[in-house]
């Protein structure tokens, strides 16, 4: 399953993601990973949540990013949720087609390994491709 938190930059997507991740950690038995472009929110996350600063890794395109996620899941079968903040930036996505293809890959990974993805996208709901509208959890 892939869920989207959408809205323009500065609308509070990260605030919602932090609230969701900190709530979810008390309700699941497995692990949660929060992937971001910096360590900025480290102290806002519950200590049981693994924060990964994607900037620490030499990732240069969407395929490498997807490979990184698959490698992470292959090393830890207990991951149940992965939060991807600033998804367009950290996954090197710059087109609507690229976004749809990336979400489709996340769905395949999710279905195969029973991992839920929650992603924040810095676009208004109306600016997202129509095929993604049913995945929107929060629109700001």
pLDDT tens for each residue of the chain, 140 residues long:
999 999 998 888 889 899 999 999 889 999 999 999 988 877 778 889 999 999 999 999 999 999 999 999 999 999 999 999 999 999 999 999 999 999 999 999 999 999 999 999 999 989 999 999 999 989 98
Task: State how far the Cα of 78 lies from the Cα of 29, in Å rounded to an integer.
Answer: 8
DSSP letter (8 states) at residue 12? S
Which are the contacts of 74, defined by CB distance < 8 A and separation ≥ 6?
Answer: none
Would you say the pTM of this structure is higher than 0.75?
yes
| Token digits of residue 90 | 């950290």
Task: State how far the Cα of 72 lies from the Cα of 60, in Å rounded to an integer.
Answer: 17
Task: State how far the Cα of 125 lies from the Cα of 127, in Å rounded to an integer.
Answer: 5
| Token digits of residue 101 | 């293809």
Name the residue ranges covered by the structural domains of the chain. 2-139
What topology does CATH give the domain 2-139? Rossmann fold (3.40.50)
């Amino acid at each position: 399953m892939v869920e989207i938190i959408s809205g323009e930059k500065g609308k509070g997507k990260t605030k919602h993601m932090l609230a969701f991740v900190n709530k979810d950690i008390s309700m699941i038995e497995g692990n949660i990973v929060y992937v971001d472009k910096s360590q900025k929110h480290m102290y806002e996350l519950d200590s049981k949540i693994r924060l990964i600063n994607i900037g620490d890794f030499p990732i240069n395109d969407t395929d490498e990013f997807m490979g990184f996620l698959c490698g992470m899941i292959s090393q830890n079968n207990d991951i149940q949720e992965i939060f991807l903040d600033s998804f367009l930036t950290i996954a090197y996505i710059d087109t609507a087609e690229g976004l749809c293809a990336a979400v489709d890959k996340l769905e395949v990974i999710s279905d195969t390994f029973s991992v839920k993805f929650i992603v924040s996208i810095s676009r208004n709901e109306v600016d997202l491709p129509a095929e993604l509208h049913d995945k929107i959890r929060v629109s700001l």
